[in-house]
Homo-oligomer: A and B are copies of this chain.
Amino acid sequence: MQASRFQPSPRCSLLHRYEEIRGTTLKLTEPFSAEDQMLQSMPDASPAKWHLAHTTWFFETFILAPHAGNYRPFDVRYKHLFNSYYKQLGSHPYRGSRGLMARPALEEVHAYRSWVDREMERYMEQDINGAARLVELGLNHEQQHQELILTDMKHALWSMPLRPEGRSRLRAVHDSGPLAWLKIEGGIYQVGYNGAGFAFDNEGPRHEVLLPPFQIASRQTTNREYLEFIEDEGYRRPELWLSDGWDSVCTHGWNAPLYWEKRDRKWCEFRFSGAEEIDLAAPVCHVSYYEADAFARWSGCRLPREEEWEIAAKSANSAESGGFLEDAEYHPRPGQTRGAQWFGNVWEWTASPYTPYPGFAPEEGVIGEYNGKFMCNQFVLRGGSCATPVSHIRPTYRNFFPPQARWQFMGIRLAK
Chain A interface (Cβ < 8 Å from any Cβ of B): 33-36, 38-39, 41, 77, 80-81, 85, 87-88, 93, 97, 99-106, 156, 159-162, 164, 188, 207-210, 212, 238-239, 241-246, 289-290, 293, 351-353, 355-356, 358-359, 368-369, 373-377, 403
A351 interface neighbour in B77, B103, B207, B355, Cβ under 8 Å: B355
What are 5 A-B contacts with C-beta separation under 8 Å? Answer: A34-B34, A77-B162, A85-B243, A101-B161, A102-B156
Would A33 and B102 be within 8 Å (CB), given that A87-B238, A239-B88, A373-B243 are in contact? yes
Question: Cβ of A377: which chain B residues have Cβ within 8 Å of it?
Answer: 244, 377, 403
Question: Cβ of A375: which chain B residues have Cβ within 8 Å of it?
Answer: 242
Nearest residue in B to A376 (C-beta to C-beta)?
B242
Would A358 and B212 be within 8 Å (CB), given that A33-B105, A103-B160, A244-B377 are in contact? yes
Question: Cβ of A243: which chain B residues have Cβ within 8 Å of it?
Answer: 85, 373-374, 376
Closest 3 pairs (CB-CB, A-B): A87-B238, A353-B353, A210-B210
A39/B102 in contact, CB under 8 A: yes
A164 interface neighbour in B103, B207, B351, B368, Cβ under 8 Å: B103
CA distance A369 to B238 in the complex (A): 10
Q: Write the nearest CB–CB distance from A368 to chain B, whole angstroms.
A: 8
Nearest residue in B to A94 (C-beta to C-beta)?
B161
Q: Write the nearest CB–CB distance from A253 to chain B, whole angstroms.
A: 15
B41/A38 in contact, CB under 8 A: no
Q: Write the nearest CB–CB distance from A348 to chain B, whole angstroms.
A: 17
Question: Cβ of A352: which chain B residues have Cβ within 8 Å of it?
Answer: 355
Question: Cβ of A87: which chain B residues have Cβ within 8 Å of it?
Answer: 238-239, 246
CA distance A32 to B95 in the complex (A): 25
Nearest residue in B to A39 (C-beta to C-beta)?
B102
A162 interface neighbour in B81, B293, B373, Cβ under 8 Å: B81
CA distance A351 to B353 in the complex (A): 11
Would A245 and B161 be within 8 Å (CB), given that A35-B106, A102-B35 are in contact? no
A353 interface neighbour in B160, B207, B355, B368, Cβ under 8 Å: B355
A242 interface neighbour in B33, B212, B374, Cβ under 8 Å: B374
A161/B81 in contact, CB under 8 A: yes
Query: With contacts A87-B238, A93-B161, A103-B162 known, what are 20 further pairs, Cβ within 8 A?
Result: A33-B34, A33-B102, A35-B35, A35-B38, A35-B102, A35-B105, A35-B106, A38-B38, A81-B162, A87-B246, A100-B161, A101-B160, A102-B156, A103-B164, A188-B210, A243-B376, A244-B377, A245-B376, A351-B355, A376-B403
Q: Write the nearest CB–CB distance from A133 to chain B, whole angstroms.
A: 21
CA distance A289 to B376 in the complex (A): 10
Nearest residue in B to A35 (C-beta to C-beta)?
B102
CA distance A161 to B100 in the complex (A): 7
CA distance A17 to B97 in the complex (A): 40
Q: Write the nearest CB–CB distance from A107 to chain B, whole angstroms.
A: 9
B35/A103 in contact, CB under 8 A: yes
Among A36, A210, A351, which residue has the most Cβ atoms of chain B within 10 A?
A210
CA distance A24 to B13 in the complex (A): 57
Would A38 and B210 be within 8 Å (CB), given that A239-B87, A374-B242 are in contact? no
Q: Write the nearest CB–CB distance from A158 to chain B, whole angstroms.
A: 10
Question: Cβ of A105: which chain B residues have Cβ within 8 Å of it?
Answer: 33, 35
Q: Write the nearest CB–CB distance from A70 to chain B, whole angstroms.
A: 26
CA distance A99 to B38 in the complex (A): 10
CA distance A35 to B35 in the complex (A): 5
Q: Write the nearest CB–CB distance from A82 to chain B, whole angstroms.
A: 10
CA distance A87 to B207 in the complex (A): 41
Among A35, A161, A351, A355, which residue has the most Cβ atoms of chain B within 10 A?
A35
